[in-house]
Structure 1
Amino acid sequence: MTQSAEVWLVLLVALLLANLPFVNERLFVVGPRRANKHLGWRVLELLLFGALTLAVGFGLETRVGQRHAQGWEFYAAALCLFLTFAFPGVVWRYLRRRGG
């Protein structure tokens, strides 16, 4: 897999995992189904899925070559990007009008 393909893979994984807490009612995708999952669970899932996305990125970076040390700026930018990717899920869950 080329480095360009790996970058796109990490971005697609981030987009999928950022929206997953908002489109289902199960805890961590495989847990018990809730009638109405609380916002706190969704935020916790979002943070854990963000960490999982970073782990996938770090794993791919290690596979290509040496993994570089990152400062706090990288993690702040990654968090902001992940939250931006979560925007469609938030809109779908909380801001759309429900018919009927």
Structure 2
Amino acid sequence: MNQTVSVWLVILAALLAANLPFVNHRLLAVIPFAAEKALPWRLLELVFFYGLVGVFAWGMEQSAGQAAPQGWEFYATTFCLFLTLAFPGFVYRYLLKHRRGA
């Protein structure tokens, strides 16, 4: 697999994972949750999925060659990008009006 495909796979995985906490009612998209998930649960899931996508990206980089060591600046920047990718899911969950039963 060439690097361009790897980069697009990581971006697509980040886009899907960033919006996953906001579009479902299950904990980590697997475990049924008794009540409506509050925002703190969704934010914890967001951090978990950020780590998951990070491990996936690291694995893709490792398979392409030697993975470069990163500093805290890299993680701060990529987390901000991850939050930006989560914006459509946040808008869908909290800012759009949803019709109930109509």
TM-score normalised to structure 1 length: 0.95
Higher helix content, 1 or 2: 1
Please tell me the residue identity of whatever aligns with 2:44.
L
2:36 corresponding residue in structure 1? 36
1:78 corresponding residue in structure 2? 78
Q: Does the residue aligned with 1:29 lie in a helix, a strand or coil?
A: coil
CA distance in 1, matches of 2:41, 2:98: 22
2:15 corresponding residue in structure 1? 15
Task: Report 1:89-100 matches (<5 A).
Answer: 89-99=89-99
Percent of pairs identical after alignment? 55
Please tell me the residue identity of whatever aligns with 1:58.
W
> RMSD over aligned Cα, in angstroms?
1.0
Q: Does the residue aligned with 1:48 lie in a helix, a strand or coil?
A: helix
The alignment covers a number of residue pairs equal to 100
User: Which segments of 5 or more consecutive residues in structure 1 lack a partner in the other structure?
Assistant: none
Q: Does the residue aligned with 2:31 lie in a helix, a strand or coil?
A: coil
TM-score normalised to structure 2 length: 0.94
Give the superposition deviation at 1:40: 1.3
CA distance in 2, matches of 1:27, 1:34: 10
User: Which segments of 5 or more consecutive residues in structure 2 lack a partner in the other structure?
Assistant: none
